[in-house]
Amino acid sequence: MGFTCGIVGLPNTGKSTLFNLVTKAGVPAENYPFCTIDPNIGIVNVPDGNLSEIAAITHPDKITPTTLKIYDIAGLVKGAYKGEGLGNQFLGHIRGVDAVIHMVRCFEDANVSHVYSEIDPVGDMEVILTELVMADLEIIEKRKDSVARGLRVGKKDVPKAEIEMIDAVEGALLEGKCLVDTGLELDQSLMKSWGILTAKPYLVVANIGEDDVTGGSEKLERLIRWGRERGRKVIPICTKFELEASELDEEDRAEFLSSVGIERPGIDALISACYEILDLITFYTPVGRELKAWTLKRGSTLHDAAGLIHTDIQEGFIKADVVSLSDFLAHQGMHGAKESGAVLIEGREFVLRDKDVVVIHFR
């Protein structure tokens, strides 16, 4: 199982630079629209300081962090839903991701053109979201017509709940709202099967200038207020500084970022925020000589976890030893946690908690 995020935005906002930063993939970042046609794809290790704390106890030969898959998707322009620019390819690529990272430009730079005349991050977000709303409205209207035609010829197999969902979704889209921002109880399986874009969780990355790192800017503040009104995270990142820092070793990188007023790398904040909007949890398996982190949707069971590790483990599942990370660390490992009574012996229906340490027994 893998979870994917797509970086979306207008041309020349810094999408490919952000992608380079999170994946260190070195893809082109040219100063003209549509440099990215086919999406670049990178696998990102999720920063996790808990792994080093567990490793200090278990002394594994290998430490494997969990990962996210990141797509760098083609730049969007007005009219994408009608096929303008690379609209059809853009919309097709975004339908394949689980969550969206909206990249907007807050920095001023006369050497980097903007697709519109003014640097206006809130206006840019409105353009992007309007395109997604219009694309969804087109889908819903086609679906509504299809259902109506079916009912006219006597088809009775469309559930009432689906018809009600179509009406509710259409109403919200006609008001220009992203579905994920409406509070509607969305049937995500339907949203996925229909190819709905605005039902996907999203966050916003503000690509800020060098002077904005410590001083901030009116543009950034306005974007943050816009996000707060919708309950959406806005993460400021100076991609120029952070890309320079990424070439340094860990100690020098931290010193460089601190010298320009960045205490926590924006990329770490971004990946943590992606975890939050995807509603993911991490669990750990300190088995044999490898310590490994894994990712699951919140609410997943031990049976799900076993299947993620290996189908043989899932099929042969007997039971699992489960302990919270805090107890594992406090008692210096699984053995100490067992002696203190902190380890749970659980079956396949047990719902995993975030940061559980797990040892699965199987036939």
Q: What is the pLDDT of residues 210-267, one digit of tens each?
A: 888 877 789 999 999 999 998 999 999 988 888 888 888 878 888 888 887 787 888 8
CB-based contacts of 315: which residues, under 8 Å, 6+ apart? 362
Above 80 in pLDDT, residue 88? no
Non-local (6+) Cβ contacts of 63 within 8 A are 51, 52, 55, 290, 291, 292
- For residue 262, what are its two tokens? 């960045």
Q: Helix, strand, or coil here: 318?
A: strand
Is the pLDDT at 26 greater than 50? The verdict is no
Cα-based distances in Å from 352 to 93, 106, 284: 32, 40, 11
pLDDT of residue 68: 87
Q: What is the rounded radius of gyration, in angstroms, for the C-alpha atoms of the chain?
A: 23
DSSP string of 159-204, one letter each residue: -HHHHHHHHHHHHHHHTT--GGGTT----HHHHHHHT-STTS-EEE
290-318 burial, b if ≥16 CB within 10 A, otherwise e?
ebbbbbbeeebbbbbbbbbbeeebbeebe
Q: For 83-102, what is the mean pLDDT?
A: 70
Residue 227: closest CA among 170, 171, 277, 172: 277
180-190: pLDDT as tens digits: 999 899 888 88
Q: Residue 204: its pLDDT value, please? A: 96
Distance of alpha carbon 325 from alpha carbon 337, whole angstroms = 10
Helix (H) or strand (E) holding 130: helix 121-152
Q: How far apart are CA 333 and CA 335, in angstroms?
A: 6
How far apart are alpha carbons 363 and 360 in whole angstroms? 10
> Mean pLDDT over residues 111-137, rounded?
81
Using CA atoms, how far apart are residues 103 and 124, in angstroms rounded to an integer? 9
Q: In this structure, what token pair is assigned to residue 28?
A: 């082109």
Tokens encoding 273? 């925020």
Q: How far is residue 41's CA from residue 23's CA, in Å, rounded to a whole number? A: 9
Higher pLDDT pick, 120 / 83: 120
Per-residue pLDDT tens digits for 37-81: 455 788 888 889 999 999 999 999 999 999 888 888 766 656 545
